[in-house]
């Protein structure tokens, strides 16, 4: 029985990784989690220059999950290369760098800076607001999705994963656009836009008014979107959205995801990724699956 997977030509020891923005670059979790056991660590979003993020408060609890409006705060690519990559290279795990930007040029800048770095895959966060287009997210316009994907492929030395926004009418349109642009894989879903009002303060719970909803509450939507996209494209999907145990992860695999990312659950259970890996292995033994690939997309 083999837990290993091939993701865009990169060999991962298992299909479980962390979701961007929930695990930093692994350092704060390394005392709780054996990073060597993970299929990959997906870093927090990295931009070409440091981003301060949104004003506080930026996080609120909601029923079944959380609302965040961090605004992709990050220290920028220079510090990331000097500090975070050397830390991750101490471990026997794959490194996936999440890249963010306000313009195509900003994305290109980061991708080019990473071209000679020892990282394995790039995950492009196209839920970022495109400042040149009046703030609409890159991932909400199929033409833009295809264009940005093409540009990333033109400049990237590593395989390119496009991270899709669920805040669209038809996710398959965006997935096909990314595939047409040459994406090697897709990761989905990013957070769903939501709002919470503090009735006692009579104001918004987060200063940004809206934020991204994540956690168990989004899982049925995420599973449905992964299933739809798996029927529409021929490239691998990394499934995410509300995974908090092995059963959740297995649902995504059966729906058509080739790998999974665990996000919000890390905040209240730092060991969750280890539990998911062990749980997938136990499920495979119990159900007679020889490889992870054998279970991907078998529910039609």
Interatomic CA distance for residues 79 and 105, integer angstroms: 20
- Whether 100 is catalytic: no
Distance CA 231, CA 227 (A): 7
The count of other CB atoms within 10 Å of the CB of residue 201 is: 8
Exposed (0-12), middle (13-18) or buried (19+): which is 256, by Cβ within 10 Å? Answer: buried
Q: How far is CA 16 from CA 46, 90, 279, in A?
A: 21, 19, 11
Residue 239, classed as helix, strand or coil, is: strand
- How far apart (Å, rounded) are the C-alpha atoms in residues 203 and 78? 38
Decide: helix, strand or coil at residue 9: coil
The catalytic site residues sit at 128
């Amino acid at each position: 029985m083999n837990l290993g997977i091939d993701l865009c030509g990169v060999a991962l020891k298992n299909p479980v990784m962390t979701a961007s923005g929930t695990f930093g670059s692994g350092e704060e979790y390394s005392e709780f989690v054996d990073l060597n056991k993970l299929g990959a660590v997906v870093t927090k979003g990295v931009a070409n220059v440091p981003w301060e993020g949104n004003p506080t408060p930026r996080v609120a609890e909601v029923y079944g999950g959380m609302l965040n409006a961090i605004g992709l705060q990050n220290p920028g690519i220079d510090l990331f290369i000097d500090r975070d990559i050397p830390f991750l290279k101490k471990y026997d795990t794959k490194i996936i760098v999440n890249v963010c930007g306000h313009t195509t040029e900003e994305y290109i800048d980061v991708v080019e800076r990473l071209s000679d770095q020892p990282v394995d895959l790039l995950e492009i966060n196209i839920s970022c607001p495109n400042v040149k287009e009046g703030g609409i997210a890159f991932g909400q316009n199929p033409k833009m999705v295809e264009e940005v994907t093409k540009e990333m492929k033109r400049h990237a030395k590593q395989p390119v994963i496009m991270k899709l926004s669920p805040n669209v009418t038809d996710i398959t349109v965006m997935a096909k656009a990314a595939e047409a642009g040459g994406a090697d894989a897709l990761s989905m879903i990013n957070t769903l836009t939501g709002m919470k009002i503090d009735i006692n303060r009579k104001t918004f719970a987060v200063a940004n008014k809206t934020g991204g909803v994540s956690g168990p509450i989004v899982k049925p939507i995420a599973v449905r979107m992964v299933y739809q996209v798996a029927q529409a494209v021929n490239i691998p999907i990394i499934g995410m959205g509300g995974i908090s145990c092995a059963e959740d992860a297995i649902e995504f695999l059966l729906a058509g995801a080739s790998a999974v990312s665990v996000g919000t659950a890390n905040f209240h259970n730092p060991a969750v990724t280890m539990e998911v890996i062990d749980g997938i292995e136990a499920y495979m033994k119990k159900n007679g699956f020889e490889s992870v690939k054998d279970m991907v997309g078998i529910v039609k």
